[in-house]
Amino acid sequence: MNICGIVTEYNPLHLGHAYQIEAARTTTKAQGIILIMSGNFVQRGEPAVINKYARTQAALHTGVDLVLELPTYFATASAEYFSHMAIKLLNATGITTHLNFGSESGSVDDLIQIADILQNEPIGFRYLLNEYLSTGDAFPKAREKAFFEYVYNHHLMSVETAAAIKTPNNILGIEYIKALKRHYSKIIPTTIKRIGSAYHDDNSRTTIPSATAIRKYLREHDRHAPLSEKLPIYSFNTLENAIHSGEGPIFYDMIFPFLKYKILASTPDILATYQDVNEGLEYKIIEAALHAYNYDGLVENILSKRYTRTKVARALLHIYLGHEQKTFELLNTDMKPYLKVLGFNANGQKMLKSIKKYDEDLPIIVNIRQGCKQLDDLQLLSYKADLNSTLQYNHLIHFNYGTMMKNEYETPIIRLP
């Protein structure tokens, strides 16, 4: 039986996502779809526009069978670590046969060819990478330059194939493939060509706008009816219900007053203990916070050739959430996987039983109080960070909309017939 895994944020779920779910099921002949989804905070270093249970509901109504949460420490990490944990979870299920992801390339063979070089890091490539890093380039740009020069010098692939390393969905797909190789996984990678607007395109007037464009539209407009034609019906209804209930939308800059206070109440040594705060970034963060009146101003005053916007946003979010670098490194190297269930339908419930049958010792959290008893010390450390992230997210809702949200213990998972 084929089971296809998809890793996503659905922030929010749009028509391109719905297309991928159907295409993944068709192309892999899957009898079930497992989703590994970020929780209330996402990889670009900001809160999700609506909470994880609302997004789970939209996913289940759009064709997904089982939704599992990607632990927060990894959901908010760089593409390499984000992918590493997502693949680790899919491997742990024991039933996932395929992985599907969207890409600008649409060719899994091209992405595998690129991933092989980045995974193996030949001496010539490594030399070039260090050279570009020494000039002050941020790692993504240094890697891109080193890769192009290396494959050009050795005539390893066409310019068109190599260019796949430049676009965001391709980059994430390459990291998934690297993670599959690192874990010696038998899961088969597949991809579909991304349809609709580009990842960073913020024009909401196109037929299939990006999640970036939809979030921008929500930020700039009080009337959301035009989005009903841009989102799958259940995704639009879930979004509207969350907004009408005073549970969103939540935007990236809503963390600013709490973040600024935490920064200015900390010393450089304390800030340097947080995930992704390194290379002297702590000093730039404090200096910027002293003069910043809003989140965008804070970020703009930190940016440099070495510190990209995404790198800065992630570092700031980790400060806000209290994610320590030493804890992240410990979880990354030593933590065994656990599965936090966000929702399922009847087919997904059968899949859960198959997972449990495959590995009776794998912690599967459906009921939190009972589930926590299954976790070892490292898993519990990670899961407490997940619980804390929900408290932080609920605080943003209450502060901005006055709505008191149920805590994680009181919130039931989503079950569809």
- pLDDT at residue 203 in the model: 56
* Angle, CA of 14, 82 and 72, to the nearest 5°: 85
The confidence score (pLDDT) of residue 194 equals 81
What contacts 73, CB < 8 A, 6 or more positions away? Answer: 275, 323, 327, 328, 331, 382, 385
In degrees and rounded to multiples of 5, residue 102 shows phi and psi of -80, 150
Of the candidates 110, 242, 240, the residue with the CA atom closest to the CA atom of residue 167? 110
3-104+173-197+235-250+335-415: what fold? Rossmann fold (3.40.50)
CA distances for 264 relative to 24, 233, 259, 313, angstroms: 47, 44, 9, 17
Distances 291 to 272, 279, 286, 298 between C-alpha atoms, Å: 20, 21, 9, 8
What does the domain layout of the chain look like in residue ranges?
3-104+173-197+235-250+335-415, 113-166, 252-330
pLDDT for 225 equals: 84
**Helices 52-61/233-244 angle, 10° precision:** 150
The pLDDT of residue 9: 96
Question: What is the per-residue pLDDT for 253?
Answer: 96
pLDDT in tens, the chain (417 residues): 899 999 999 999 999 999 999 999 999 999 999 999 999 999 999 999 999 999 999 999 999 999 999 999 999 999 999 999 999 999 999 999 999 999 998 899 999 999 999 999 999 999 999 999 888 888 888 898 998 888 888 888 888 888 888 888 999 999 999 999 999 999 999 999 987 655 555 555 677 788 898 999 999 988 888 888 889 999 999 999 999 999 999 999 999 999 999 999 999 999 999 999 998 999 999 999 999 999 999 999 999 888 889 999 999 999 999 999 999 999 999 999 999 999 999 999 999 999 999 898 999 999 888 888 899 999 999 999 999 999 999 999 999 999 999 988 889 999 998
Residues 6 or more apart whose Cβ sits within 8 Å of residue 323: 72, 73, 76, 274, 275, 317, 385
Give the count of beta carbons closer than 10 Å to the beta carbon of residue 127.
Answer: 11
CA dist 412 and 403 (Å) reads: 18
Model-level pTM?
A: 0.94
pLDDT at 320: 98
Contacts 24+ apart (CB under 8 A), 296-302: 296/253, 298/256, 298/259, 298/260
pLDDT for the residue 286:
97
Give CA–CA dist 293/299, Å, rounded: 11
What pLDDT is stored for residue 404 in this prediction?
95
Q: How far is CA 41 from CA 46, 76, 264, 280, in A?
A: 6, 7, 23, 25
- DSSP label at 324? B
